[in-house]
Amino acid sequence: MKLKINEIFYSIQGESTYIGLPCIFIRLTYCNLRCTWCDSEYTFESGTYMSINEIMASISQYDCNLVEVTGGEPLMQSECIQLLQNLELKKYKILLETGGSLPINKVPKSVIKVIDFKCPGSGMVKKNLWSILDDIDSKDEIKFVIKDQNDFDWAEQKVSEYKLDETNPVIFSPVFNILDYEILAEWVKSSKLNIRMQIQLHKHIWSPDLKGV
């Protein structure tokens, strides 16, 4: 059983409510979406096949208990579920970054799912699979990447419609170098919903184009 791995690295968590914490990243190859603002197109095809034992051995070199499995879209590879199960057996605290378009019902219960539903500005809004909300619990996080006012208004409507801010952390993140931080901050301040703004911390610590951070 092998997965196509784009990269494995140790860094600072740049997103989610775990922002700022040291974290091991396992980035899987392939994605079923093509968002207009994608910052990880290099994950679409390139990578190296690794067995789960090889992956576990690779991450064991880091003295860290927090692991994020990301992509691309990690759930495109069915073997991802086995990887998550193995991480769970080794008592890692696990984050799974997924794009909100694929089922999550087989993801182990202990995994913290960060679900990145796609706004209209991404060009992928029709791919959102809202039925996966039936398979989340209070520890899971909902994220919207905001490109403009239309995206913000749409995301607010979805948060209200599904009452997401009553049950889960809800994160609004600006498209890097497109939406000004101050503008999004003002929108979040004026919102009556329980939402939080976030920026991509790693892009301010290192070069925005640098991989493996």
What is the mean pLDDT, run by run of 10 residues, along the chain of 213 residues?
95 96 97 91 91 98 98 96 98 98 97 98 97 98 98 98 98 95 98 96 85 78
Contact between residue 12 and residue 201 where contact means Cβ atoms under 8 Å apart: yes
Helix H segments across the chain? 52-59, 80-89, 149-162, 181-190, 202-205
> What is the pLDDT, as a whole number, of residue 154?
98
> What is the pLDDT, as a whole number, of residue 9?
97
Q: How many helices (H) and strands (E) does the chain have?
A: 5, 9
Residues whose CB is less than 8 angstroms from the CB of residue 158 and which lie 6 or more positions away in sequence, other chains included: 117, 144, 164
> What is the pLDDT, as a whole number, of residue 25?
98
CATH hierarchy code of domain 2-205: 3.20.20.70
> What is the pLDDT, as a whole number, of residue 208?
80
Backbone angles phi, psi at 135, to 5 degrees: -110, 20
Domain boundaries, the chain: 2-205
> What is the pLDDT, as a whole number, of residue 171?
98
> What is the pLDDT, as a whole number, of residue 210?
79
pTM of the predicted structure, to 2 decimals: 0.95
Separation in Å, CA 24 to CA 12, 27, 202:
8, 10, 14
Which residues are registered as beta bridge partners of 95?
68, 112
> What is the pLDDT, as a whole number, of residue 6?
96
